[in-house]
Protein backbone atom coordinates (compact mmCIF):
# COMPACT_ATOMS: atom_id res chain seq x y z
CA UNK A 1 0.00 0.00 0.00
CA UNK A 2 1.26 3.46 -0.82
CA UNK A 3 1.97 5.50 2.31
CA UNK A 4 2.01 9.23 2.95
CA UNK A 5 2.39 11.31 6.07
CA UNK A 6 -0.81 13.12 5.10
CA UNK A 7 -3.13 11.50 2.54
CA UNK A 8 -5.35 14.53 2.03
CA UNK A 9 -2.29 16.67 1.42
CA UNK A 10 -0.94 13.99 -0.95
CA UNK A 11 -4.04 14.18 -3.13
CA UNK A 12 -3.93 17.99 -3.18
CA UNK A 13 -0.25 17.88 -4.14
CA UNK A 14 -0.81 15.49 -7.05
CA UNK A 15 -3.71 17.63 -8.24
CA UNK A 16 -1.59 20.80 -8.07
CA UNK A 17 1.28 19.21 -10.02
CA UNK A 18 -1.19 17.83 -12.57
CA UNK A 19 -2.73 21.28 -13.11
CA UNK A 20 0.69 22.92 -13.32
CA UNK A 21 1.77 20.56 -16.10
CA UNK A 22 -1.57 20.56 -17.90
CA UNK A 23 -1.92 24.33 -17.88
CA UNK A 24 1.50 25.99 -17.65
CA UNK A 25 3.64 23.15 -18.99
CA UNK A 26 1.48 22.41 -22.01
CA UNK A 27 1.13 26.14 -22.69
CA UNK A 28 4.92 26.30 -22.98
CA UNK A 29 4.78 23.48 -25.52
CA UNK A 30 2.08 25.24 -27.52
CA UNK A 31 3.96 28.55 -27.51
CA UNK A 32 7.12 26.80 -28.70
CA UNK A 33 5.22 25.09 -31.51
CA UNK A 34 3.76 28.43 -32.59
CA UNK A 35 7.04 30.27 -32.68
CA UNK A 36 8.86 27.38 -34.38
CA UNK A 37 6.33 27.43 -37.23
CA UNK A 38 6.68 31.19 -37.60
CA UNK A 39 10.49 31.22 -37.48
CA UNK A 40 10.62 28.61 -40.23
CA UNK A 41 9.02 31.22 -42.50
CA UNK A 42 10.97 34.29 -41.37
CA UNK A 43 14.37 33.45 -39.92
CA UNK A 44 17.05 33.05 -42.57
CA UNK A 45 20.81 32.90 -42.30
CA UNK A 46 23.48 30.26 -41.86
CA UNK A 47 22.78 29.62 -38.17
CA UNK A 48 18.98 29.86 -38.33
CA UNK A 49 18.32 26.15 -39.15
CA UNK A 50 20.43 24.99 -36.19
CA UNK A 51 18.69 27.35 -33.75
CA UNK A 52 15.27 26.25 -35.00
CA UNK A 53 16.26 22.59 -34.75
CA UNK A 54 17.41 23.20 -31.17
CA UNK A 55 14.02 24.73 -30.38
CA UNK A 56 12.32 21.68 -31.90
CA UNK A 57 14.48 19.36 -29.81
CA UNK A 58 13.71 21.20 -26.56
CA UNK A 59 9.99 21.18 -27.36
CA UNK A 60 10.04 17.47 -28.19
CA UNK A 61 11.86 16.43 -25.01
CA UNK A 62 9.72 18.62 -22.77
CA UNK A 63 6.53 17.33 -24.33
CA UNK A 64 7.55 13.69 -23.86
CA UNK A 65 8.45 14.28 -20.23
CA UNK A 66 5.30 16.26 -19.45
CA UNK A 67 3.19 13.44 -20.88
CA UNK A 68 5.12 10.92 -18.75
CA UNK A 69 4.67 13.16 -15.71
CA UNK A 70 0.92 13.38 -16.23
CA UNK A 71 0.77 9.57 -16.32
CA UNK A 72 2.94 9.19 -13.20
CA UNK A 73 1.02 11.78 -11.20
CA UNK A 74 -2.32 10.25 -12.21
CA UNK A 75 -1.14 6.78 -11.21
CA UNK A 76 -0.09 7.94 -7.74
CA UNK A 77 -3.23 10.03 -7.34
CA UNK A 78 -5.40 7.02 -8.21
CA UNK A 79 -3.69 5.00 -5.50
CA UNK A 80 -4.42 7.76 -2.99
CA UNK A 81 -8.06 7.91 -4.10
CA UNK A 82 -8.33 4.11 -3.72
CA UNK A 83 -7.31 4.47 -0.09
CA UNK A 84 -9.66 7.40 0.45
CA UNK A 85 -12.55 5.39 -1.00
CA UNK A 86 -11.73 2.43 1.27
CA UNK A 87 -11.69 4.71 4.32
CA UNK A 88 -15.01 6.23 3.26
CA UNK A 89 -16.62 2.79 2.99
CA UNK A 90 -15.42 1.85 6.46
CA UNK A 91 -15.89 5.08 8.39
CA UNK A 92 -17.68 7.51 6.08
CA UNK A 93 -15.35 10.15 7.49
CA UNK A 94 -13.71 11.27 4.27
CA UNK A 95 -14.73 12.48 0.83
CA UNK A 96 -12.47 10.93 -1.83
CA UNK A 97 -10.86 13.19 -4.39
CA UNK A 98 -11.82 13.05 -8.05
CA UNK A 99 -9.73 10.88 -10.34
CA UNK A 100 -7.46 12.86 -12.63
CA UNK A 101 -7.88 12.60 -16.38
CA UNK A 102 -5.00 11.16 -18.39
CA UNK A 103 -5.07 13.87 -21.04
CA UNK A 104 -1.81 14.41 -22.87
CA UNK A 105 -0.44 17.30 -24.92
CA UNK A 106 -1.41 17.19 -28.56
CA UNK A 107 0.65 18.72 -31.33
CA UNK A 108 -0.98 21.49 -33.30
CA UNK A 109 0.10 21.86 -36.91
CA UNK A 110 0.76 25.58 -37.05
CA UNK A 111 2.30 25.18 -40.48
CA UNK A 112 -1.18 24.80 -41.98
CA UNK A 113 -2.23 28.11 -43.50
CA UNK A 114 -5.91 27.42 -42.96
CA UNK A 115 -5.37 27.28 -39.21
CA UNK A 116 -6.91 30.57 -38.12
CA UNK A 117 -5.37 30.29 -34.66
CA UNK A 118 -1.85 30.09 -36.03
CA UNK A 119 0.58 32.58 -34.53
CA UNK A 120 1.94 34.92 -37.18
CA UNK A 121 4.26 37.67 -36.02
CA UNK A 122 4.65 40.86 -38.04
CA UNK A 123 8.43 40.77 -37.68
CA UNK A 124 11.31 38.91 -36.06
CA UNK A 125 11.20 41.59 -33.38
CA UNK A 126 7.76 40.30 -32.38
CA UNK A 127 9.10 36.73 -32.43
CA UNK A 128 11.91 37.86 -30.16
CA UNK A 129 9.36 39.34 -27.74
CA UNK A 130 7.41 36.09 -27.67
CA UNK A 131 10.53 33.98 -27.17
CA UNK A 132 11.59 36.28 -24.33
CA UNK A 133 8.20 35.72 -22.71
CA UNK A 134 8.59 31.96 -23.18
CA UNK A 135 11.95 32.13 -21.39
CA UNK A 136 10.39 34.00 -18.46
CA UNK A 137 7.47 31.57 -18.29
CA UNK A 138 9.89 28.65 -18.39
CA UNK A 139 11.74 29.97 -15.32
CA UNK A 140 8.48 30.49 -13.41
CA UNK A 141 7.31 27.01 -14.36
CA UNK A 142 10.61 25.40 -13.34
CA UNK A 143 10.52 27.00 -9.89
CA UNK A 144 6.92 25.92 -9.23
CA UNK A 145 7.51 22.45 -10.70
CA UNK A 146 10.59 21.70 -8.59
CA UNK A 147 8.98 23.04 -5.43
CA UNK A 148 5.78 21.07 -6.01
CA UNK A 149 7.55 17.76 -6.53
CA UNK A 150 9.98 18.27 -3.62
CA UNK A 151 7.10 18.92 -1.21
CA UNK A 152 5.26 15.91 -2.63
CA UNK A 153 8.27 13.61 -2.16
CA UNK A 154 8.71 14.84 1.42
CA UNK A 155 5.15 13.76 2.14
CA UNK A 156 5.52 10.36 0.40
CA UNK A 157 6.98 7.54 2.50
CA UNK A 158 9.51 5.25 0.87
CA UNK A 159 8.37 2.52 -1.50
CA UNK A 160 9.69 1.17 -4.84
CA UNK A 161 7.26 3.34 -6.81
CA UNK A 162 8.54 6.47 -5.11
CA UNK A 163 12.15 5.62 -5.99
CA UNK A 164 11.31 5.20 -9.67
CA UNK A 165 9.25 8.40 -9.74
CA UNK A 166 12.04 10.34 -8.03
CA UNK A 167 14.58 8.97 -10.50
CA UNK A 168 12.49 10.10 -13.48
CA UNK A 169 11.93 13.50 -11.87
CA UNK A 170 15.63 14.00 -11.08
CA UNK A 171 16.65 13.05 -14.61
CA UNK A 172 14.37 15.73 -16.02
CA UNK A 173 15.50 18.34 -13.50
CA UNK A 174 19.09 17.75 -14.58
CA UNK A 175 18.05 18.71 -18.11
CA UNK A 176 16.01 21.79 -17.19
CA UNK A 177 19.06 24.04 -16.87
CA UNK A 178 20.34 22.97 -20.30
CA UNK A 179 16.89 23.59 -21.82
CA UNK A 180 16.85 27.04 -20.24
CA UNK A 181 20.35 27.79 -21.54
CA UNK A 182 19.37 26.67 -25.05
CA UNK A 183 16.31 28.92 -25.03
CA UNK A 184 18.39 31.88 -23.84
CA UNK A 185 21.03 31.33 -26.53
CA UNK A 186 18.40 31.23 -29.25
CA UNK A 187 16.68 34.30 -27.81
CA UNK A 188 19.96 36.26 -27.89
CA UNK A 189 20.71 35.17 -31.46
CA UNK A 190 17.21 36.09 -32.59
CA UNK A 191 17.45 39.43 -30.82
CA UNK A 192 20.64 40.32 -32.70
CA UNK A 193 19.09 39.43 -36.05
CA UNK A 194 15.89 41.37 -35.29
CA UNK A 195 17.92 44.43 -34.23
CA UNK A 196 20.11 44.30 -37.35
CA UNK A 197 17.06 44.10 -39.62
CA UNK A 198 15.39 46.98 -37.79
CA UNK A 199 18.54 49.11 -38.15
CA UNK A 200 18.73 48.40 -41.87
CA UNK A 201 15.10 49.35 -42.35
**150, containing H or E segment:** helix 124-155
**60, containing H or E segment:** helix 48-91
pLDDT digits (tens, 9 = 90+) for 71-82: 888 998 999 999
The values of phi and psi at residue 4, to 5°, are -130, 155
pTM of the model: 0.84
pLDDT for res 104: 64
pLDDT digits (tens, 9 = 90+) for 48-58: 999 999 999 99
Domains and CATH numbers, the chain: 7-101+120-200 (1.20.1260)
pLDDT above 60 for 192: yes
pLDDT for res 129: 93
pLDDT for res 41: 85
In this structure, are residues 10 and 81 in contact, taking their beta carbons and an 8 Å threshold? no
Higher-confidence residue of 104 and 137: namely 137
Q: Compute the Cα dihedral for 166, 168, 171, 173 and give only its sign.
A: negative
Amino acid sequence: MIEFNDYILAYNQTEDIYKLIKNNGYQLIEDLERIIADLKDKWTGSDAPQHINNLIEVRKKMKLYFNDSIFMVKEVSDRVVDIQEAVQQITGAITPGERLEAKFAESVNYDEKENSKSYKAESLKDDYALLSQICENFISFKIAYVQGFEEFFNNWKNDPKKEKTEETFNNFIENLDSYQETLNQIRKALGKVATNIENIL
